[in-house]
């Protein structure tokens, strides 16, 4: 029925959320839905690992109930407190034995109490701690900020199985759970989008965590995250991708994002794009109001240049572009250069404000904002083309 055996006596007991279109409130678009992956390990001691988001609690209990009597569960590992995994915690606890042991980090304990109250039987673990559950062992690796302070990985050495919760995950609802059963292009795209939009600010921690796990010598032949597919064919690939993405090394690519009121800023965007293309630069061009912000960020993630254009309205930026500027500041991309453009009528203001926001996002502005009044004439459009060519040359000259 709903459960899927992923290794001998180890089951996926999660839920598929086919219809979710935004995650983290409205912050993250999930065009392809998501899954909330929970797992059950059956041994001399039976272990439940993680849970599901609130709307799927009933389905989760149905699936879990197929493979075990709730009263036979001995340990409940909470790798991460965020409600997409822990919303089922209180209802689950009502169904488990009173002496069930909840395994989590100290921050996990604090987070669970803050979300659901106290009175539970916690066992706090740290990196290096292990629990023997029969022929298998649970080993724990704290992973703070991947994705919350409470996060940890659970590792089962006898199975070479890593359960890292959010890390290595993606928002993708799938019928078949394993990477080799799905379109590789899609899963890598969703994994990259997840990293770019959620994990980028923690890249330094990811580099250190990968180094730590490598030094621990963990043998891994399966990574079973809490969202999306389970890695078994591409284990090495996704670890290498994480190492690469965490370095944030951009390639010779530019992303132009703009919006427009009466087409003038759009005319500039088009000419700037031509200048870049004719210099051989790979570009993406987005009108923000008809584009998905998270998809744009995924393209910005590995681009060297970000070029943002807006007309001025009431002395400020066209509001559609503001969420992107907020994201750029929050995500803290590295090694990026930038430029700004836009048209205005009787008074400017938007390009200056965008430039300030890009500087706050630590994007190195390589040109003064390119500004035109009302409608750009032929000469101005030629200048916009040259503006694009100069940005292209700066891209090629920038080493990092
Ligand atoms: Fe999937 Fe950070 O929760």
85 counts as catalytic:
no
Burial class (CB in 10 A: 0-12, 13-18, 19+), 392: buried
Give the ligand 1 atom nearest the CA of 227: 1
Question: What's the alpha-carbon Rg for the chain, to the nearest Å?
Answer: 24
183 counts as catalytic:
no
Residues of the chain with pLDDT under 70: 400
Which pLDDT belongs to residue 1? 80
Q: Does ligand 1 have an atom closer than 6 angstroms to the CB of 109? A: no
How many Cβ atoms from other residues are within 10 Å of residue 278's Cβ?
A: 12
344 counts as catalytic:
no
Which pLDDT belongs to residue 400? 54
Helix 203-216 and helix 235-247: axis angle, to 10°?
140
Cα(348)–Cα(365) distance, integer angstroms: 19
Catalytic residue, from 17, 43, 50, 84: name it.
84
First CA to last CA distance, the chain: 51
| Shortest-distance Cα residue to atom 3 of ligand 1 | 82
Domains, the chain, ordered by start: 4-247 (3.60.15.10), 251-394 (3.40.50.360)
Which residue do the tokens 């029925």 mark?
1
Q: Does ligand 1 have an atom closer than 6 angstroms to the CB of 37? A: no
Cα(121)–Cα(129) distance, integer angstroms: 18
> How far from the centroid of its chain's Cα atoms is residue 301's Cα?
11
pTM of the shown model? 0.96
Give the distance (Å) from ligand 1 centre to CA of residue 382.
Answer: 48
Strand partners, 175: none
Q: Does ligand 1 have an atom closer than 6 angstroms to the CB of 166? A: yes
Q: Does ligand 1 have an atom closer than 6 angstroms to the CB of 179? A: no
Provide the greatest CA pair distance for the chain. Answer: 79
């Amino acid at each position: 029925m709903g459960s899927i055996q992923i290794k001998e006596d180890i089951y996926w007991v999660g839920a598929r959320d086919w219809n979710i279109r935004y995650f983290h409130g409205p912050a993250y678009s999930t065009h392809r839905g998501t899954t909330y992956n929970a797992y059950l390990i059956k041994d001399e001691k039976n272990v439940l690992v993680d849970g599901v988001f609130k709307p799927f609690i009933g389905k989760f209990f149905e699936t879990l109930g197929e493979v075990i009597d709730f009263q036979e569960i001995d340990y409940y590992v909470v790798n991460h407190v965020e409600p997409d995994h822990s919303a089922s915690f209180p209802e689950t606890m009502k169904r488990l034995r009173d002496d069930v042991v909840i395994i989590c980090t100290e921050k996990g304990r604090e987070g669970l109490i803050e979300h659901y109250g106290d009175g539970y039987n916690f066992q706090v673990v740290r990196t290096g701690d292990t629990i023997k559950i029969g022929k298998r062992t649970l080993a724990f690796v704290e992973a703070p900020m991947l994705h919350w302070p409470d996060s940890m990985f659970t590792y089962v050495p006898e199975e070479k199985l890593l359960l890292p919760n959010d890390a290595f995950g993606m928002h993708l609802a799938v019928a078949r759970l394993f990477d080799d059963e799905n379109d590789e292009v899609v899963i890598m795209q969703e994994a990259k989008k997840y990293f770019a939009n959620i994990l980028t600010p923690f890249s330094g921690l990811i580099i250190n965590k990968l180094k730590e796990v490598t030094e621990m010598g963990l043998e891994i032949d399966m990574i079973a995250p809490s969202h999306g597919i389970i890695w078994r064919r591409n284990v090495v690939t996704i670890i290498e991708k994480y190492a690469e993405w965490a370095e944030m090394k951009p390639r010779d690519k530019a992303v132009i994002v703009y919006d427009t009121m009466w087409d003038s800023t759009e005319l500039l965007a088009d000419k700037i794009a031509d200048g870049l293309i004719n210099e051989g630069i790979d570009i993406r061009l987005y009108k923000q109001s008809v584009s998905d912000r998270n998809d744009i960020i995924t393209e910005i993630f590995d681009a060297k240049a970000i070029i943002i254009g807006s007309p001025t309205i009431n002395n400020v930026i066209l509001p559609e572009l503001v969420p992107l500027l907020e994201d750029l500041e929050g995500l803290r991309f590295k090694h990026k250069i930038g430029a700004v453009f836009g048209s205005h009528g009787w008074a400017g203001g938007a390009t200056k404000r965008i430039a300030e926001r890009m500087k706050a996002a630590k994007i190195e502005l390589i040109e003064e904002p390119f500004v035109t009044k009302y409608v750009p004439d032929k000469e101005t459009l030629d200048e916009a083309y040259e503006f694009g060519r100069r940005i292209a040359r700066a891209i090629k000259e920038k080493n990092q």
